[in-house]
Structure 1
């Protein structure tokens, strides 16, 4: 179908405004010059037509002239064309002898030609005579104009009155560019460089053209890429068949190709086969030119507007359609021949095929018809991508290799490894089973499938495969480290440590790295410093041997070990970004799980829910072993918000019915819910259940805060207990160490050791406060300690309770706050009234709540969200939500406007 023409001008608001301003100035007797510069097809002529339409609508005469390519050039052609059009409506001008060089019928044959300056003055006088009330003079395509024409244009731009001079030309380093730059520097010309349309502007143009069939996102993306943002090409592509070069573009490229000498034409054809971007030295080898000749040819192609420099040694086609047109003009045998020559040149220049050269070589091999070479190159590319940890690139490359390979076994082996590393366990398992069926006695295939089962949390299935793997050789060592992982998950830490140590001592580098990471995980139960050091050793070893993905895993294991004490979420974020960049989706899920746990410890419930949701979503999609724990941690986060999330707990238990550690974690979440309601007896019962479940697998590595809570409630709920129970495992986590000291404070107070009780209390406070406050556990522990201290007569329980009450109220924990007020009454202290903010009428009219009013007052003071959160004892995320609602309710667009509105609503006060 014919190319549609867009009925509106898209994306040129600034340029249209400049043209209309120039037209308005002519009506006030002022002259102006505007230059529109840009590549072919950018829309210069369309804007010139819009200028003519606007001029005619305002009753301003418009004259248009156009320069033509040098093969058909006439001196002063654009000016003569414009003036002849004007003179058809006007006679009687007295400067005819001077203008005879432009107007044939005014020529005086025996009169010598005057200078260009005299001619320019005559043109200026003629324009002023033609434009008593203003005139638009459009001179197009001045990149083809002769030097004399440009001299007249310069004179007009410097001296014109009542004339809006509009110039168009390509933005190339030529005489026009020098002229417009000079005019712009002395304020005689406004230069507008037309930029390519943006993606939204291209979409708007498509919609304005009324093309209902182009609704698929992929089709639109392809059109955006091929058009390079040029409005003319957008229209041409809309009128062409999908994937077909528009006829006008093909003819234009064919004409330009025919004008090149043989070397130039061959270079363009070879470049098109190499790709949209190409290395000029590879191109020279392909065409058979020395470097000097190749550069000379490239210079000519740049002048033609078909090629442009890119980066360093690279050049590129100016538009994707130009390359498509050159390729379409080649016969299939010609294309294959150029591809074969280019492949040889690539192998000569880049024998290692590093970086993108693997993909380039594979594409050339396919174009040359050599599928075997293409499969070999793509397999090597996949192997290298995996080695540098680029899992997404490795997966994409290997899928291409599989499509062209006659025997995909080697490709499948590597693809299964990539998918396992990325956490795509279902497809990895399917490929691994297929490989195992083809080679039932291959130990490597069984180890590979066992790894997939471990990644998916299918421990029994992994063990079943490993039992059939011999213990000797490289496969036996790789099986050994997988066995260690299974042992760790099966609560057999001694077996896991023995196997990991043996694998580290005897295995190849990749096995040694994995063994160090397992030993690091084991060390977390007793020595966090040792755990971090082992992870660092693993990372250093991986980096030394170029194992990028293993290094990234070591980095995040080190981050996990490090944050157990510091609770620094920034370390987790850095590790997550690195793992995500590699495409390790399972690793990202693990780090999201860890962030959930750390956010919970920091009492940042909203952020914890967000991290848990990410982990749950990924775990469901990829069938990862992280799903049950993520559901439990999500329920814990919601408990901090006062929500009872039994559905998550039930699903987690159904997913792992035999996991006694998970059952203990579920009981601990129910205990948290009870503590939040002030029901200490019910909480202790749930925590007893948790410890019972933990005891069923006594060697399970756990840092569950349920252990510390159990110590606390055991002492607090039993008035006759004068010593805390023994914890089930080393208390490596700060929250458990802190709560153990609080439990010791209660016990010492009962024994009458008031000084010892206060010492333990202070030590517990320091442990839980620094370096990041573990707020929920600390305040719950203080409540339990205060209750015991009231009975046993030590410390300052009334002061503790009075200090904590507003913090708990600020969190909206009503039942917990009620328990604190009850303790204060038992202490004989006047209970402070619950702090509520009286909402002024002007704020009530806007629907603001009490809490929103408090936030608004602090916004008016100029505090940022973090400062407001600290002042009101809220999380930053909660404050952000309040501010979002304040923006909506006040109608303020941004924070500065909200501050101004807050000051106005509060009667000019910036204080509380």
Structure 2
């Protein structure tokens, strides 16, 4: 008879679900399917059938599996899955994956470029990279990722899976996962995904009698009718509908002679089947082991202590057996039906089922099981004292099985510290937490200290605060004051990053209370940096002089005392604090930060410095080359979130440079990814970029949609508020020819800046606002000089408007020739930002016409042409009106008919009537429409009457509804 039944039986509904999801994946409608059930219920068979059906359809399949001995080995099933696909063909070469190769190298180290700087990529970096890889693999036909035994995976793998589950929609990927319903992070993930309908969950129930009969028939090699009814009854009663138990019971019955082949009579019952109960499965494995020669017996028992899957190398370390003899023993175990070669890895074996290893160990008395576990642990530690790879946690597990709890605690602690050093904070927290529970009192405090640092890295601030409060304040079990100060300082910095001011202040106070005689210079520097970070949080007063002094002193001390991370933090904060005194000063701080990062090989801090230097250069000159270099450095490092930060600045630059296509390209690439990765600060900035893109095209609806998303992401309470008011809303108002609204937005931005620390300088205070104030006659030469003296006035975006403000003042002062020369100089050198440039020409021409200087007609013609091409009708109308006022003949423009929907074109709507109709969605009055289009309210009234006649609509309200429908269709 066969050991297993070949077909999958009794799972028709689950197979139908899998077939539907496979079809969806081929249509780029990705989803996750989780198969949930007890051991032996058939999860692996069903997953294997999904693989077979996917392969038959031509879908690539990647396959990995969790392992009980590898729950502290980060990303093991993901690494296996990639290896299963790329082991022979090598790494993927698609150019779209180039930025993600460093992150994917976390799974396959051989993929890391030879020139790459070492950097522990974050879990989210890896998750996004894996998502992109799967999308590329499945681009043509779809693909399937099968991950088994998720109950045995590490917390980082669970985090990656959660990310995949939430972001598979729209991708050609089916994720199939199997797990037991045992408490843990994986089950929590599946339950949460099921509740929010983000994944399909199939809970495998016990098989019904008909399916049990089909399994027996498959194993016995006969039709279903050839299975004795008495046998089916016993299998149903004793097997609990579990396919694995059913098969094992059958094997035991045949092996013991209770079930015999009767030749032509088929299978016959030859004894009392009621004596065969599931417990005999354990005894049956014991008998199989006893049939092996002694060396093979020992090898199988030691292998079982290593888990359901084991590597030959690890087993050899435990047994000390030579290759040839060990493989002979393994062949004996294969022939006995105990183990099988692991198809996922050529150097590994697996017990025939997860329950097999458990049953083998359960066949032994407890004392013998403990002795075998201790023998395996001692053998591993003797052969590999450093316990390399994942063996540290494996030996810890063995020590637990042996009852050596104190030793296990120390090993879990070491494994946790290694995980933390690799940037795997989730695994570190889990391992150190277990170590803390098991440790003797004498070791618990030191482990608690490591656990606190891991919790800080993982952002689990509440748990960390509770733990630090529980530490013994004095005595032999207490941490020393220096260690406690370091912990409080670290937690304060985490609280600052989370914008939890009260917690940060509390931890700072706790740290300072422990300082003796003012503390060491290193302690003072670290605390000062946290206090400077507090000074930049929203809600803090605008004065930052004291924070700057403290940060500078802290940076110097940190460099002298070899605290490079503290030094980088301090120089970064200083670069923000000193911007008001000049970008040369800020850049000097960033150059120091860059030097520290490079000297001490801190790749993330290096990219951070490069990004900020690039952003400063672009603001000063409009040159983006250094910022692009920073973006490339982030990609080479695999620091995807830092790359997104650099690209967000490049997107804003594209908006200002009048390159909407590039801005839209970056937004399309980064907005969704930043949300998936929880890169909230960058996502918020990208949403503002999206709104600003609409604003700088004069499209209020697009701007308002972007600002709504920006506010929903917390933008209204962020430091980006003045940018939103001055660079976004004010410019949109100007492109609608609403100068009063623009000045109000700029005034609101200035009022915000007066009450808060400000790190953004393109919000109008040093450029656009002074120009409007000068045009309105509200600012004189002295006011202009005060603004121009500020270093922010030298930024390229601001400088163009200040040049024009200066020209207007010169014209009023009777120095028309100098004023005209300044405008011509502006025209030659200020073309970096075309929208700002032509808006400036439109504004300065008005003053030149009034005061009689320069060549306002040519300026207006240039602005009219630009804004006509950009489809900003209000400014076009204003330019044309001023040209007529100047006595210039203005030819009619009839272009724009292509923008009118075909049905309305057929009704005879003119471009101007369509412009009026487009503005009616917000139900403005005639005066407002006239102001936006630079026509009289009476003319607006005539256009509306014509619209009613041509469309046949009943009234103005109907026109407004039509306008809203057209806008919705365009959106």
TM-score over 0.5 for the pair: yes
Query: 1:333 offset after TM fit, Å?
Result: 4.4
Query: 1:675 offset after TM fit, Å?
Result: 2.0
2:410 aligned with 1:384? no
Q: Which residue of 2 aligns with 1:530?
A: 588
2:395 aligned with 1:361? yes
Residues 555 and 566, structure 2, Cα contact 8 Å, conserved in 1? no
Provide the rounded CA distance (Å) in 2 between the counterparts of 1:240 and 1:778: 81
1:286-365 correspondence to structure 2 within 5 Å: 286-298=318-330, 306-308=340-342, 323=357, 326=360, 332-365=366-399
Q: For the pair shown, which has the larger CA radius of gyration, 1 or 2?
A: 1
2:798 aligned with 1:736? yes
Query: 1:455 offset after TM fit, Å?
Result: 1.4
Provide the rounded CA distance (Å) in 1 between the counterparts of 2:612 and 2:457: 15
Residues 716 and 788, structure 1, Cα contact 8 Å, conserved in 2? yes
Query: 1:736 offset after TM fit, Å?
Result: 2.8
Provide the rounded CA distance (Å) in 1 between the counterparts of 2:575 and 2:11: 64
Provide the rounded CA distance (Å) in 1 between the counterparts of 2:465 and 2:840: 47
Q: Which residue of 2 aligns with 1:690?
A: 749
Change (3 A) 1:403 1:509: same
Residues 806 and 819, structure 2, Cα contact 8 Å, conserved in 1? no
1:398-547 correspondence to structure 2 within 5 Å: 398-402=432-436, 404-405=438-439, 409-434=445-470, 442-459=484-501, 462-463=504-505, 465-466=507-508, 468-469=512-513, 470=515, 471-473=518-520, 474-487=522-535, 491-492=544-545, 493-522=548-577, 526-527=583-584, 529-543=587-601
Residues 644 and 673, structure 1, Cα contact 8 Å, conserved in 2? no
Residues 612 and 631, structure 1, Cα contact 8 Å, conserved in 2? no
Residues 513 and 542, structure 1, Cα contact 8 Å, conserved in 2? no
Q: Which residue of 1 aligns with 2:825?
A: 760
Provide the rounded CA distance (Å) in 1 between the counterparts of 2:353 and 2:174: 18
Residues 529 and 566, structure 2, Cα contact 8 Å, conserved in 1? yes
Change (3 A) 1:257 1:809: farther
Root-mean-square deviation (Å): 5.9
Query: 1:761 offset after TM fit, Å?
Result: 1.0
Query: 1:540 offset after TM fit, Å?
Result: 1.9
Change (3 A) 1:649 1:284: closer
Change (3 A) 1:320 1:789: farther
Residues 279 and 313, structure 1, Cα contact 8 Å, conserved in 2? yes
Query: 1:283 offset after TM fit, Å?
Result: 0.9
Q: Which residue of 1 aligns with 2:85?
A: none
Provide the rounded CA distance (Å) in 1 between the counterparts of 2:496 and 2:49: 59
Provide the rounded CA distance (Å) in 2 between the counterparts of 1:755 and 1:251: 100
Provide the rounded CA distance (Å) in 2 between the counterparts of 1:721 and 1:610: 45
CA deviations over 1:246-283 (Å, ceiling 9, x no partner): 44258769487566433334323323332455442331
Provide the rounded CA distance (Å) in 1 between the counterparts of 2:729 and 2:17: 59
Q: Say how many residue pairs are matched.
A: 645
Residues 342 and 364, structure 1, Cα contact 8 Å, conserved in 2? yes
Structure 1, gaps ≥5 residues long: 14-38, 48-194, 207-214, 225-230, 852-912
Q: Which residue of 1 aligns with 2:39?
A: none
Query: 1:7 offset after TM fit, Å?
Result: 5.5
Query: 1:553 offset after TM fit, Å?
Result: 5.6
Provide the rounded CA distance (Å) in 2 between the counterparts of 1:283 and 1:241: 34
SS in 1 for 2:423: coil
1:769-780 correspondence to structure 2 within 5 Å: 769=832, 774=833, 776-780=835-839
Provide the rounded CA distance (Å) in 2 between the counterparts of 1:562 and 1:40: 58
CA deviations over 1:107-158 (Å, ceiling 9, x no partner): xxxxxxxxxxxxxxxxxxxxxxxxxxxxxxxxxxxxxxxxxxxxxxxxxxxx
Residues 708 and 735, structure 1, Cα contact 8 Å, conserved in 2? yes
Residues 665 and 704, structure 1, Cα contact 8 Å, conserved in 2? no
SS in 2 for 1:726: helix
1:173-192 correspondence to structure 2 within 5 Å: none
2:316 aligned with 1:284? yes
Q: Which residue of 2 aligns with 1:678?
A: 737
What is the TM-score when the length of structure 2 is the normalising length? 0.53
Q: Which residue of 2 aligns with 1:370?
A: 404
Residues 596 and 611, structure 1, Cα contact 8 Å, conserved in 2? no
Residues 563 and 571, structure 1, Cα contact 8 Å, conserved in 2? no
Residues 409 and 435, structure 2, Cα contact 8 Å, conserved in 1? yes
Query: 1:306 offset after TM fit, Å?
Result: 0.4
1:253-264 correspondence to structure 2 within 5 Å: 254=285, 260-264=292-296
Change (3 A) 1:10 1:516: same
1:243-254 correspondence to structure 2 within 5 Å: 246-248=245-247, 254=285
Provide the rounded CA distance (Å) in 2 between the counterparts of 1:244 and 1:477: 64
CA deviations over 1:733-753 (Å, ceiling 9, x no partner): 442344444544555666322
SS in 2 for 1:306: strand
Change (3 A) 1:589 1:725: same
Residues 592 and 615, structure 1, Cα contact 8 Å, conserved in 2? no
Between the two structures, name the one with larger relative contact order (CA 8 Å, sep ≥ 6).
2
2:786 aligned with 1:726? yes
1:105-184 correspondence to structure 2 within 5 Å: none
CA deviations over 1:868-891 (Å, ceiling 9, x no partner): xxxxxxxxxxxxxxxxxxxxxxxx
CA deviations over 1:448-485 (Å, ceiling 9, x no partner): 34223311234576356435353322433321332343
Provide the rounded CA distance (Å) in 1 between the counterparts of 2:770 and 2:494: 39
Residues 525 and 554, structure 2, Cα contact 8 Å, conserved in 1? no
Query: 1:537 offset after TM fit, Å?
Result: 2.1
Query: 1:679 offset after TM fit, Å?
Result: 1.9
Residues 455 and 461, structure 2, Cα contact 8 Å, conserved in 1? yes
Provide the rounded CA distance (Å) in 2 between the counterparts of 1:432 and 1:472: 20
Residues 531 and 558, structure 1, Cα contact 8 Å, conserved in 2? no
1:438-837 correspondence to structure 2 within 5 Å: 442-459=484-501, 462-463=504-505, 465-466=507-508, 468-469=512-513, 470=515, 471-473=518-520, 474-487=522-535, 491-492=544-545, 493-522=548-577, 526-527=583-584, 529-543=587-601, 566-567=623-624, 601=656, 636=692, 639-640=695-696, 641-642=699-700, 643-644=703-704, 662=721, 666=725, 669-695=728-754, 700-706=758-764, 707-718=766-777, 724-727=784-787, 729-731=790-792, 733-744=795-806, 746-747=808-809, 751-752=815-816, 753=818, 756-762=821-827, 764-766=829-831, 769=832, 774=833, 776-791=835-850, 797-799=856-858, 801-805=860-864, 808=867, 813-827=872-886, 828-830=888-890, 832-833=892-893, 835-837=895-897
Q: Which residue of 2 aligns with 1:870?
A: none
Residues 667 and 690, structure 1, Cα contact 8 Å, conserved in 2? yes
CA deviations over 1:284-304 (Å, ceiling 9, x no partner): 132242344224434556787
Residues 596 and 609, structure 1, Cα contact 8 Å, conserved in 2? yes
Residues 599 and 608, structure 1, Cα contact 8 Å, conserved in 2? no
CA deviations over 1:164-201 (Å, ceiling 9, x no partner): xxxxxxxxxxxxxxxxxxxxxxxxxxxxxxx9996899
Change (3 A) 1:369 1:591: farther
Provide the rounded CA distance (Å) in 1 between the counterparts of 2:535 and 2:685: 19
Provide the rounded CA distance (Å) in 2 between the counterparts of 1:824 and 1:718: 23
Change (3 A) 1:837 1:653: same
Change (3 A) 1:373 1:729: farther
SS in 1 for 2:890: coil
What is the TM-score when the length of structure 1 is the normalising length? 0.56
1:891-910 correspondence to structure 2 within 5 Å: none
Residues 668 and 690, structure 1, Cα contact 8 Å, conserved in 2? no
CA deviations over 1:481-523 (Å, ceiling 9, x no partner): 3234335556233443233323332353443343343345456
Query: 1:329 offset after TM fit, Å?
Result: 5.3
